[in-house]
Amino acid sequence: MNDILELLEARREQHLREVVELVAIPSVSAKPERAGEIRRCAEHVASLLRSAGISRVELFPTPGNPIVYAERLGAAGPTVLVYGHYDVQPEDPVELWETPPFQATVRDGDLYGRGAVDDKGQMFIHIAVARAFLERRGKLPVNLKFLLEGEEEVGSPNLEPFVAAHKELLKADVVVVSDTGMLQKGMPSICHGLRGLAYFELVVDGPGNDLHSGSFGGAIPNPANVLCQMIASLKDSAGRVTIPGFYDDVVPLRPEERAALAALPFQEEEFRATTGSPALAGEEGFTTLERIWARPTLDVNGLWGGYQGEGAKTVLPARAGAKFSTRLVANQDPGKISRLVEKHLRSIAPPGVSLEFRQLSGGKPFLCPFDHPYIQAAKRALEEGFGRPAVFIREGGSIPFVATISELLGVPCVLLGFGLPDEHSHAPNERLHLENFYGGIRSIARYYDALAGI
């Protein structure tokens, strides 16, 4: 193992340069005008894989962005499917970045740039490790398959059909993903649960056109008032979602799981401080970790309607709308939740307005027990890579691919992520703590090596 670790250590500067190059490609999946950059990024990732010595590297076209698939087989060990994403979130609001988002910059041991942690820096770890094995030993300890997609940040709309059509190609003994975080600095973490997502848009339609609020106010239903009332009623004062049936399929927390969560050294005040919110709040009867990891919720993501300009304009808007989403937990199904939400909204809409409702994206939740030998091996690899005890965590975020592939293959999915809670993913000044980047590289190298012996 030392041969590989020494080579990886000697490559620190090169690894950093290569992540900087990846970040320099603005592969923003949400912006159609960046399609050329998406393509360029997919090709760049493919060429990195090729130059690492991976024998088969292909770009699979989809109705959206290309999927980068690569494999190097022929090893005696098990087959590992590595998943990651090369697309990134929009850089907006760009004026809040201290250094340009696509010009990655090191400051105080962190690499700042869009995609540094989510997910270019983390995805790169696996490529660097594969290259080191191939260079030093001419072979890999495990069979490696890579599936790197370019639409994760927009809900992976074309991934399920791809997976369904390529079951044989993707067959593996274990799925490994580095796209999550660590509980806190110095605490390497294995994530065994993700929340799912169902994201909606609701438009309330009223009068045929905007109206003078003096001549008509109080005499017709105002779509903006109606929208606010409807949305506000979706949660009660105890922080529970009021939609009938919403909690029906929720897997409850077992007493020993609650005890395990309570035993984690989670710093609630630090967590609050990272948000900048003066207080924490959520569903009554649950702790903060339980609320974000094991309980579903509903949040407004955007609201519009009526006059938004300077000063006052006395008007009744003809239409008003909201984007809102539910985060789901095992075993809630986004399709079923969508039907429940729509049915409920239609049942509470007052006469005199009409509703447009649609689901914009979705992804299933994921939860897997962590007693599998491949997962226990991951814990040891992290502990060796970081020289610190590792913990089991869940995440409140979503990675739609993980539930899809674990249902299809029925194999363990091991989420070894190296982000930190305050690294501003999706926000200005996204960064990656370089110690965790290098620790991640060491851990993944040890993990592949360990898997060969199981």
Q: What is the biggest distance separating any 2 CA atoms in the chain, rounded to whole angstroms?
A: 81
Strand positions, DSSP E, 353-454: 354-363, 366-367, 391-393, 413-417, 431-433
Q: Which is nearer to Mn ion, 71 or 153 (CB)?
A: 153
Q: Shortest Cβ distance from residue 237 to ligand BES (Å)?
A: 27
Please list every residue from 81 through 100 that binds ligand BES, using CB under 6 A.
Answer: none
Question: Cβ of 350: how many Cβ atoms within 10 Å?
Answer: 11
Per the annotation, the verdict on 3 as an active-site residue is no
Q: Which is nearer to ligand BES, 150 or 181 (CB)?
A: 181
Determine the residue with CB nearest ligand BES: 397
Give the closest residue to 27 by CA, choosing from 86, 83, 67: 86
Number of residues this chain uses to bind ligand BES (CB under 6 A):
16
Catalytic residue among 37, 119, 152, 449: 152
Catalytic residue among 37, 87, 119, 153: 87
Give the closest residue to 282 by CA, choosing from 293, 274, 273: 293
Q: Shortest Cβ distance from residue 331 to ligand BES (Å)?
A: 18
CA distance linking residue 22 with residue 176, whole number of Å? 21
Q: Which is nearer to ligand BES, 93 or 311 (CB)?
A: 93
3-state secondary structure of 182: coil
For tokens 């970081």, the residue is 386
Q: Which is nearer to ligand BES, 291 or 319 (CB)?
A: 291
Per the annotation, the verdict on 449 as an active-site residue is no
Q: Shortest Cβ distance from residue 261 to Mn ion (Å)?
A: 23
CB 183 within 8 A of CB 391: yes
For tokens 């820096």, the residue is 121
CB 444 within 8 A of CB 126: yes
> Does 317 sit behind a cis peptide bond, omega within 30 degrees of 0 on the bond before it?
no
Please list every residue from 152 through 191 that binds ligand BES, using CB under 6 A.
Answer: 152-153, 155, 179-181
The reply to whether 118 sits near Mn ion by the rule CB under 5 A is: yes
Q: Which is nearer to Mn ion, 119 or 290 (CB)?
A: 119
Span interacting with Mn ion, options 113-121, 215-223, 225-233, 427-435, rule CB under 5 A: 113-121
Q: Which is nearer to ligand BES, 153 or 290 (CB)?
A: 153
Which does residue 143 bind out of Mn ion, ligand BES, none, counting CB within 5 to 8 angstroms by kind?
A: none
CB 139 within 8 A of CB 16: no
Please list every residue from 175 through 214 that binds Mn ion, using CB under 5 A.
Answer: 179
Q: Which is nearer to ligand BES, 37 or 395 (CB)?
A: 395
Which does residue 400 bind out of ligand BES, Mn ion, none, counting CB within 5 to 8 angstroms by kind?
A: ligand BES
Span interacting with ligand BES, options 52-60, 215-223, 276-284, 392-400, rule CB under 6 A: 392-400
Residues in contact with ligand BES, shown as a per-residue x/- string from 130 to 159 under the rule CB under 6 A: ----------------------xx-x----
CA distance linking residue 88 with residue 204, whole number of Å? 32
Contacts of 34 (CB under 8 A, 6+ apart): 26, 27, 28
CB 391 within 8 A of CB 187: yes
The reply to whether 399 sits near ligand BES by the rule CB under 6 A is: yes
The reply to whether 119 sits near Mn ion by the rule CB under 5 A is: yes
Q: Shortest Cβ distance from residue 418 to Mn ion (Å)?
A: 12
Q: Shortest Cβ distance from residue 413 to Mn ion (Å)?
A: 14
CB 412 within 8 A of CB 161: no
How far CA 253 is from CA of 258, 331, 372, in Å, comes to: 6, 12, 20
* Packing angle, helices 35-51 and 121-137, rounded to 10: 20
Cα angle for residues 421, 426, 428 (degrees, 5° grid): 95
* Residues with catalytic roles: 87, 152
Residues forming the site for ligand BES (CB under 6 A): 118-119, 152-153, 155, 179-181, 197, 361, 363, 395, 397-400
Q: Which residues bind Mn ion (CB under 5 A)?
A: 118-119, 179
